Amino acid sequence: MEPVFTMEKQLVIDNVQITICDTRIEMGLAAARHTENLYRHILSERGVVNMIFAAAPSQDEYLESLIKKTEIDFSRVNAFHMDEYIGLEKEAPASFGVYLRTHIFDKAAFKSINYIDGNVETCSEECFRYGKLISAFPVDIVCAGVGENGHIAFNDPEFADFNDPQIMKVVELDNICRQQQVNDGCFPSINDVPKKALTLTIPTLMNAKYRVFVIPSKRKAKAVHDMFLSSRNETVPASVIQGDSCSSVFLDRDSAEFLLKDL
């Protein structure tokens, strides 16, 4: 599978546009510019934009750049997030809802902000409730990361299903995923990381019009390599984007290291 180079630091692999930046800050700026362009395109068609946001330290620079985009009128954006721990205290710093509120939701006047509740008594009811919201507001842009085990949202390899009939589901987090939360500084030890979570499924994310993946750091280098250069299958959940021209990927020098070596 030969890459097609379009300009310095950019390449296309199997219809997916990849932008490689020297630093995380440059990566965040580039991803925010691209998201702004998508926003303008969608807004011109129907006046409102529905967006799903990932919550992770890997998204810090991207969200910081995105919130500064003066041409994005967030009062025209319905905001969602893609996953949440089950049983974590609602205001815990590691909660994904708290992360997004701190990094973007409290920094602009959104049209609506729709949180996943990981403290409900019946998770199936929360899956149903949030699924109805996603169905009522068809997703335009997914702002995503990729995990060290190749997951998208909390679809770890064991639970990833490219043909999942559900919109949202309950999953058990594997140890690689849970250790990543420790590596990211979100929890002091793996024993503190919840074992279950609610997540939007892979088809839900892939059914959006556009996907913007922001994936920095050397710890993600193998996952980035495998999402493009392994076979497309659920053992590498992020490989689902192979051949998808509506997905764009933004990397820093560290996360692109193994990919570039094998091209």
pLDDT for the residue 90: 87
Confidence of residue 8 (pLDDT cuts 50, 70, 90): low
Using the predicted structure, report yes or no on whether residue 1 has a pLDDT greater than 90: no
pLDDT for the residue 2: 47
Domain that holds residue 124: 4-262
95: domain CATH number?
A: 3.40.50.1360
Cβ atoms within 10 Å of 93's Cβ, excluding its own: 11
DSSP conformation letters of 16-41: EEEEEESSHHHHHHHHHHHHHHHHHH
As a whole number, mean pLDDT of residues 15-38 equals 96
**Which residues on adjacent β-strands are paired with residue 244?**
none
Condensed to tens digits (0 to 9), the pLDDT of residues 124-173 reads: 999 999 999 999 999 999 999 999 999 999 999 999 999 999 999 999 99
Distance separating alpha carbons of residues 96 and 114, to the nearest angstrom? 12
CA distances from 46 to 41, 53, 77, 140 (A): 9, 21, 12, 11
pLDDT for the residue 6: 45
Q: What is the mean pLDDT of the chain?
A: 95
The amino acid at residue 7 is: M
Number of domains in the chain: 1
Read off the pTM: 0.96
